[in-house]
Amino acid sequence: MSSSLLSALHSFPDQLEQLYASVPVACANWTPASWEGIPSETFTAIEQLCHIRDIEIDGYHVRFRRLLNEAAPSLASIDSYAVARERGYPDARPTEILADFRAARADTLRMLRTLTEADWQRRGTFEGYGPVTVRGLAHYLCSHDQQHLAGLHWLLGAYDAR
């Protein structure tokens, strides 16, 4: 497996925590007048953290397991905005979210590090993406990580310019 892929997945929790540490307390639930240009979902800073945690657990963990244990599964997308409403994202505590996410990402990495080359090639279909392999799904996870770092940077830029 690509060591750069696993390295990127491994380093993301530190990057996320360092970036979130620079978010002013008043910005955690702040919303801009316009979301135009945000490179991620239109979530506040605290909602971005919650979303990252929940997609890791409820999205990627489930998808990886299904790809590894089922023949050509169809992997559903998640309505992230509905999850945010149901779970009360604005009231979440950043330290708890980050700790939960670190644990979830460690679980992801433990699973991925044990895979054989044949496992990496297992296939399914991912709603909204089309055909996918386990390796491809890992790349999508890395892309998702970067999308939300960019979203947090975007929010900080918009907050600073208010």
Spell out the domains of the chain, with CATH numbers in brackets: 3-160 (1.20.120.450)
Question: Is the predicted pLDDT of residue 47 greater than 80, yes or no?
Answer: yes
Question: Is the predicted pLDDT of residue 1 greater than 70, yes or no?
Answer: no
What mean pLDDT value characterizes the chain?
97
Phi/psi-derived region of residue 74, left when phi > 0, alpha when psi is between -120 and 50, beta in every other case = beta
Rounded CA separation 44/28 (Å)? 6
Q: What is the mean pLDDT of residues 56-65?
A: 98
Q: What is the mean pLDDT of residues 81-91?
A: 97
Q: What is the mean pLDDT of residues 82-109?
A: 97
CA dihedral in degrees (62, 54, 1, 132; nearest 10)? 50
Q: What is the mean pLDDT of residues 25-41?
A: 97
Residue 2 has what pLDDT?
Answer: 76
